[in-house]
Amino acid sequence: MCSKGGDGTIPYVRTTATTVLGDDVYVLCSELQYDQNFIYRINLKTNKAERIVSSGVRWFKISDNKLYYVKDEDNMLYSSALDGTGEMKLSDHAVSWFDSIAGKVFYTTEKDTNRFELYQADPNGKDPLVWKTPIAGVQVLNDRLICHVGENDDYGVVLLDGSGQLVLKVADPISRVLTSDEGVLLKSARDSSVKFIR
């Protein structure tokens, strides 16, 4: 909850997301306890706060000097300048996860319970389906998409490059995928062994 003072400052902030960029901190918070969350920009030197996205927002991130966020009203992905101007709708489908790689935005939409389709956002046309098989989850590491296909599929993990092209397929069913700066740890669903991919 953001408690806004009469001078436009926010003396107390309980947030669900925070990003610091230069002298500004971007927060996702609400002014009232049961209100929607909005994106605010707070100047760290002056403590002055301004609401930069006036629609209710589920979550946001800053990438490539742009603001990306999913709105409450339609679960669609939007982008804007860091001051909230120039808003553009990016997704054709409701978004359950998103990230960007080298200026390209990828997102998932739920197809079935805990099964997702992976798309690339294309604001100028129809969003292309990046991977034809539904996935259980996706993470980004070193400009690659690590897609956990699932324990009960013919293979467990696929690695895609920043264009969505296949780099590597792991044939074993995988129960867990963990990423670090060093690479990817995969836990086998068959025998609980762990494999490491750089």
- Mean pLDDT throughout 94-99? 95
Confidence (pLDDT) at 188:
73
- Residue of 122, 116, 124, 113 lying closest to 145 (CA atoms): 116
Question: How many angstroms separate the CA atoms of 163 and 105, rounded?
Answer: 10
Confidence (pLDDT) at 151:
59
What is the largest distance, in Å, between two alpha-carbon atoms of the chain? 61
> Tokens for 24?
């500004």
40 pLDDT band, cuts 50/70/90, is: very high
150 pLDDT band, cuts 50/70/90, is: low
User: For residue 21, which phi and psi values (nearest 5 degrees)?
Assistant: -140, 105
pLDDT higher than 70, residue 138: yes
Please state, rounded to an integer, the average pLDDT across all residues of the chain.
83
Question: How many angstroms separate the CA atoms of 191 and 116, rounded?
Answer: 26
Tell me if 51 sits within 8 A of 39, measured CB to CB: yes
pLDDT higher than 80, residue 15: no
Confidence (pLDDT) at 13:
44
Confidence (pLDDT) at 46:
93
Confidence (pLDDT) at 1:
44
pLDDT higher than 90, residue 36: no
Confidence (pLDDT) at 3:
46
Confidence (pLDDT) at 112:
84
At 110-137, the pLDDT tens digits run: 988 888 999 999 988 899 999 988 898 8
| Comparison of pLDDT for 96 and 16, the residue scoring more | 96
